[in-house]
């Protein structure tokens, strides 16, 4: 890497995607990394660029924080991410993660007992807990579950979604709120849903849409102003290459008045005191001592993505590897991938789901502990195991630093790991993770 006259980092000799690209990331070369979806990966480029920003602030924190440099840095990130996702800048703010964004939105809505809040049957655990936590309030909505019926085609999912939405709407007063939490790319199972069309159906049926897009930023093209969901939250660290602790919360102007941060802003947002003309934006600048460097990593992450080839090149490579790699792992295991009944990769973005041949009579805690012990410790590779539709599955993530050999390695490792787990079917002993 080198610096331009404007102090912008520039990559020299960008390697081809695959194992040659490992050098771009802070990854242990002795480990096969196939779990980008949980924690993301930080390129050296982004780490160095953000540390240079940190140095500017740390040399004189008061000067940095009190003369506008901090706010301008956050604004530069907001402007960059807004342009990237096709949204108005002043509809975009940052929160630490998707769970914080979902909780912020749900707790900002003024609920009545006649309202209905819907989440899907593959909703991520932190979102489930966010929904359940509303029950502690004096006035809370009723809750319902969207049954996706996976595996299914996008067309079938949309047909069933509209039917269920109409049923909920018919069973509630006209003035009551119907709020649907929509997964864009779910976590486990890692499936790409027709979320844009689901948002459109919500509009047609008079429901609000809250899009949990934890995995979308960096995996798919976003045109948020055009899609116009009522609420949208996406992690910047999972697939976008920004530092952990950064997520985009995009709230259209029509809903901003209701929004309140979970921790009240320390900035006085009264007349003459707002940092930004938009009160909503001001409230999400500053709520106490925190490391805001993650938000400042947005611009370097965008710069890195551009220099290694751009979104289309990144996602074309990763999607093809996820589809082919998943099929190869399934072939080695003698099982199957989770996909649309059409078998065309419709449910796959950059993560593959492969069924594991694990005896389902074995207690879940034992499966998890043995799986982690063997994959992380013995075999030095990892992909996420989970239970779905009565079977064990594994989620394997494709990234620019991975290639088919990694998926083949995973497949052979899983053969041995599943064999060892199944051998304990009649053993009550639970192996502890070292």
How far apart CA 386 and CA 58 sit, in angstroms, is 43
Higher pLDDT pick, 290 / 280: 280
54 belongs to a structural domain: no
Window from 6-15, 49-58, 168-177, 178-187 with minimum mean pLDDT:
6-15
55 belongs to a structural domain: no
pLDDT band, residue 2 (cuts 50/70/90): very low
CB count in 10 Å sphere of residue 361: 8
Residues 272 and 407 in one domain: no
pLDDT at 431: 44
Section 396-406 average pLDDT:
98
Residues 407 and 368 in one domain: yes
Residues 360 and 224 in one domain: no
DSSP 302: H
Domain span at 275: 68-302
pLDDT at 268: 57
pLDDT at 274: 63
CA atoms within 13 A on the CB side of 157: 26
Residues 98 and 176 in one domain: yes
pLDDT at 362: 97
pLDDT tens readout for residues 328-385: 999 999 999 999 999 889 999 999 999 999 999 999 999 999 999 999 999 999 999 9
pLDDT at 289: 67
Single residue among 261, 281, 302 that ends a domain in this structure:
302
pLDDT band, residue 301 (cuts 50/70/90): very high
How far apart CA 376 and CA 150 sit, in angstroms, is 30
379 belongs to a structural domain: yes
The sign of the CA dihedral 412, 418, 424, 425 is: negative
Residues 277 and 335 in one domain: no
Residue 279 has pLDDT above 90, yes or no: no
CATH code for the domain in which residue 244 is found: 3.40.640.10
Residue 430 has pLDDT above 50, yes or no: no
Residue 24 has pLDDT above 80, yes or no: yes
Residue 43 has pLDDT above 80, yes or no: yes
This prediction's pTM:
0.94
Residues 36 and 111 in one domain: no
Percent of the chain with pLDDT over 70: 94
pLDDT at 287: 77
pLDDT at 4: 40
Residues 314 and 292 in one domain: no
CA-derived radius of gyration, the chain: 23
Section 181-197 average pLDDT:
98
Section 185-190 average pLDDT:
98
57 belongs to a structural domain: no
Higher pLDDT pick, 293 / 116: 116
pLDDT tens readout for residues 110-165: 999 999 999 999 999 999 999 999 999 989 999 999 999 999 999 999 999 999 99
pLDDT at 3: 39
Exposed/middle/buried for residue 13 (C-beta within 10 Å: 0-12, 13-18, 19+): exposed
pLDDT at 266: 67
Residue 181 has pLDDT above 80, yes or no: yes
355 belongs to a structural domain: yes
Single residue among 242, 272, 302 that ends a domain in this structure:
302
Which SS3 state, helix, strand or coil, does residue 60 take?
coil
Residues 76 and 34 in one domain: no
In angstroms, the Cα distances linking 103 to 95, 232, 260, 288 are 11, 12, 11, 19
End-to-end CA separation in angstroms for the chain = 39
Residue 314 has pLDDT above 90, yes or no: yes
pLDDT band, residue 434 (cuts 50/70/90): very low
Nearest to 228 by CA among 208, 214, 247: 208
pLDDT at 433: 36
What is the tally of helices (H) and strands (E) in the chain? Answer: 15, 14
Single residue among 302, 335, 353 that ends a domain in this structure:
302
Domain count, the chain: 2
CB count in 10 Å sphere of residue 270: 8
CA angle 83–84–90, rounded 5-degree value: 40
CATH code for the domain in which residue 333 is found: 3.90.1150.10
Section 281-303 average pLDDT:
88
367 belongs to a structural domain: yes
Residues 134 and 250 in one domain: yes
pLDDT at 1: 47
Residues 177 and 227 in one domain: yes
Residues 332 and 278 in one domain: no
Residue 228 has pLDDT above 60, yes or no: yes
Phi/psi at 395 (5° precision): -105, 120
433 belongs to a structural domain: yes
Tell me if the bond preceding 151 is cis, omega within 30° of 0. Answer: yes
pLDDT at 432: 42
pLDDT at 38: 96
423 belongs to a structural domain: yes
Residues 320 and 288 in one domain: no
Instruction: Please give the mean pLDDT across all residues of the chain.
Output: 92
Residue 57 has pLDDT above 90, yes or no: no
Residue 86 has pLDDT above 80, yes or no: yes
């Amino acid at each position: 890497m080198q610096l331009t006259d404007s102090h912008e980092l520039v990559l020299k000799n960008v390697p081809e995607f695959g194992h040659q690209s490992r050098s771009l990331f802070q990854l242990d070369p002795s480990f096969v990394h196939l779990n980008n979806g949980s924690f993301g990966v930080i390129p050296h480029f982004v780490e160095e660029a953000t540390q240079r920003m940190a140095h500017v602030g740390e040399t004189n924190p008061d000067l940095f924080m009190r003369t506008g440099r901090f706010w301008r840095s956050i604004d530069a990130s907001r402007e960059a991410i807004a342009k990237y996702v096709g949204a108005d800048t002043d509809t975009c703010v940052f929160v630490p993660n998707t769970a914080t964004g979902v909780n912020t939105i749900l707790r900002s809505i003024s609920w009545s007992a006649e309202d209905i809040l819907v989440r899907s049957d593959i909703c991520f655990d932190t979102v489930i807990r966010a929904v359940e936590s509303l029950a502690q309030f004096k006035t809370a909505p009723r809750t319902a579950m969207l049954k996706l019926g996976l595996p299914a085609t996008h067309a079938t999912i949309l047909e069933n979604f509209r039917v269920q939405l109409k049923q909920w709407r018919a069973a509630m007063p006209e003035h009551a709120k119907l709020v649907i939490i929509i997964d864009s790319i779910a976590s486990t199972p890692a499936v790409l849903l027709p979320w844009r069309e689901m948002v459109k159906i919500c509009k047609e049926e008079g429901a609000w849409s809250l899009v949990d897009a934890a995995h979308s930023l960096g995996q798919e093209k976003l045109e948020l102003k055009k899609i116009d969901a009522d609420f949208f939250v996406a992690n910047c660290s999972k697939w976008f290459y920004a530092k952990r602790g950064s997520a985009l919360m995009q709230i259209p102007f029509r809903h901003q008045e209701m929004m309140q941060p979970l921790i009240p802003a320390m900035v006085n947002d009264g007349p003459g005191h707002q940092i930004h003309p938009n009160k909503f934006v001001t409230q999400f600048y500053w709520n106490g001592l925190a490391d805001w460097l993650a938000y400042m990593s947005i611009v370097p992450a965008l710069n890195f993505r551009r220099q290694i080839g751009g979104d289309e090149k990144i996602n074309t490579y990763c999607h093809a590897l996820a589809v082919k790699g998943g099929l190869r792992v399934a072939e080695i295991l003698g099982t199957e991938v989770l996909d649309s009944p059409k078998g065309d990769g419709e449910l796959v973005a950059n993560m593959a789901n492969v069924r594991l041949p694990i005896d389902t009579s074995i207690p879940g805690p034992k499966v998890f502990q043995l799986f982690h012990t063997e994959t992380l410790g013995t075999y030095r590779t990892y992909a996420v195991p989970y239970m779905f539709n009565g079977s064990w599955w594994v989620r394997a993530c494709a990234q620019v630093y991975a290639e088919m050999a990694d998926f083949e390695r995973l497949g052979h490792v899983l053969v041995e790991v599943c064999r060892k787990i199944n051998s304990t079917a009649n053993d009550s002993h639970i192996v502890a993770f070292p």
